[in-house]
A and B are shown apart, each in its own frame.
Chain A
Amino acid sequence: MEQQHLIDLAYLVAGILFIMGLKGLTHPRTAVRGNLLGAIGMLIAVVATLCDHQVLDYQTIIIGIFLGSLIGAVMAIKVQMTAMPQLVALFNGLGGGASVLVAFASLTAENTTETESLITNVAIVCSALIGAVTFWGSLVAFGKLQELSFLRKPARFSGQQVVNLLLAAATLLLGLLVLGYPQDMTYFSIFLIAASVLGITLVIPIGGADMPVVIALLNSYSGLAAAATGFVVDNNVLIVAGSLVGASGVILTKIMCKAMNRSLFHVLFGVLEAVGEVADADEVYSGKIKSTSADEVAMLYDSAERVIIVPGYGMAVAQAQHAVRELANELESRGVEVEFAIHPVAGRMPGHMNVLLAEAEVPYEKLKEMDEINPSFAQTDVVLVIGANDVVNPDARNDPTSPIAGMPILNVDQARTVVVVKRSLSPGFAGVPNPLFAADNCLMFFGDGKQAILDLNRALKES
């Protein structure tokens, strides 16, 4: 057997390990092992590649791997759980960027015959296009999640869709030019610039609450970029791994879109459906808001048998997850049944709330999905909403003219009492007032999320 065959077999083993690794992620108990299998698969793929006789320059490689491992490890160990969406966005971008550079390097180093090189060149163009969009799109997403001031407002202008469409068409045309003149680096450079600008303009109009969709989509792109690179360097393990990740991102994107009742098209082009008129906030709220205090909420809990906690992005911002866990523990020690209701798009990425609560050592069995917990709100004494808004807005269910009509929500309004921890009455991402706050069974507990829960814990212990 030739050496190349052994290397290919090693790639097959790596591919199988990636699939088994993802399979391990289907349950929290097997997930750590699954992740480890994926990492072993990667190690095998890298070692096999290094055995390739084409690979000569070991010194450069060792330096590169050392540098990358060091930076990656420091980032992974230092990052706070609340900053996870940014980190994932950044990693996505790096994967995409690597694809672009490999495409570039392959184009300059090319020395195959003409018919064969056309196929390779198509792969190079695809890999560079997807990679550049992923890289720049992810950097913008990172900036938005990090709340860099110049990216804070979604940048929208009229005719934006047309501009993006024209830009996409121009990029594709430039891609064709590259195919025609593969040796001319000027065309390739202009093509890369166009693809980069496209990546930026695609993500820049997208607002905060749509971020879960964008991250999932960029995740998918980073996989597709890797798969395209696999066609460039003629390597099957890249194709397998890339398509697995591409598929994963597509599914997550679909789940996120469904949870917001928005089409992918509308998210991508920053369109908020303008159906009917947005109700006037003063009209909805005037005279109907009941403000409450820690002591009052503590008294409510004294007579409660079943409590549901609904976390949102506000909990992440306030870093209140540990205080929330303490509250849940205190209530449980008094014999109260406590569960957490997790909306699929709560937070800034899929599963964001689950990670934060896991960090605070809330057992994952206590975290309930929307469909599972919704029927039980009617039998719940107190619901505590912390830092969530649009995902608990009953207008989505009741008012067909509301901009968020049809979005699946957590039916917290059906509980006996709802306590909403919030800084002010400011609207959520959808920009609509929330009639829940004015409902008879709703009490507003104004304040910083963490401080409010800490006060509540103190009041509970004193009572």
Chain B
Amino acid sequence: MDVSTLITGLTIFALAVFVGFEIITKIPPTLHTPLMSGSNAISGITVVGALIAIGSGSDSLATVFAFIALVMATINVVGGFLVTNRMLEMFRRKK
């Protein structure tokens, strides 16, 4: 990574943090648990990092680590979105 890529990355980081603050302050407390599990699933985006690491790793040890990372991140993503959906369906349900 060179310096200009780093600066682009930091710019994106800073702006996304502000967008995050703006949106999340508007989320009502009643949805805070689904917010946590849902945002948690989004943080499973590390799955992309794991995929890249598996692809580029020539070293067999690196591939093993990347594989375990892939499994962990996938559990995080799939489990996170599913359980959030389960909870939110309960909120939507009307008698």
Residues of A within 8 A of B (CB): 15, 18-19, 21-23, 25-29, 31-32, 34-36, 38-39, 41-42, 45-46, 49-50, 52, 54-57, 60-61, 63-65, 67-69, 71-73, 75-77, 79, 81, 84, 87-88, 91-92, 94-95, 97-102, 104-106, 108-109, 112, 115-116, 119-120, 123, 215-216, 219, 222-223, 225-227, 229-252, 255, 342, 344, 349-352, 354-355, 358-359, 361, 363-364, 367, 369
Q: Is the CB of A72 within 8 A of B87?
A: no
Residues of B within 8 A of A (CB): 1-3, 5-6, 8-9, 12-14, 16-21, 23-59, 61-63, 65-95
Q: Binding site of A, secondary structure by majority: helix, strand, loop or mixed? A: helix
B56: which A residues are within 8 A, CB to CB?
A: 54, 109
Q: Is the CB of B25 within 8 A of A238?
A: no
Known: A101-B69, A243-B16. A42 touches B44 (CB 8 A): yes
Q: Is the CB of B39 within 8 A of A101?
A: no
B85: which A residues are within 8 A, CB to CB?
A: 32, 35-36, 39
A87: which B residues are within 8 A, CB to CB?
A: 37, 79, 83
CB proximity of B81 to chain A, nearest CB, Å: 4
Q: Is the CB of B20 within 8 A of A246?
A: yes
Which chain A residue lies CB-closest to B6?
A119
CB proximity of B7 to chain A, nearest CB, Å: 10
A10 CA to B46 CA in the complex, in Å? 16
A64 CA to B78 CA in the complex, in Å? 12
Q: Is the CB of B40 within 8 A of A95?
A: yes
Q: Is the CB of B2 within 8 A of A116?
A: yes
Q: Is the CB of A42 within 8 A of B42?
A: yes
Known: A22-B24, A76-B78. A244 touches B44 (CB 8 A): no
A222 CA to B77 CA in the complex, in Å? 12
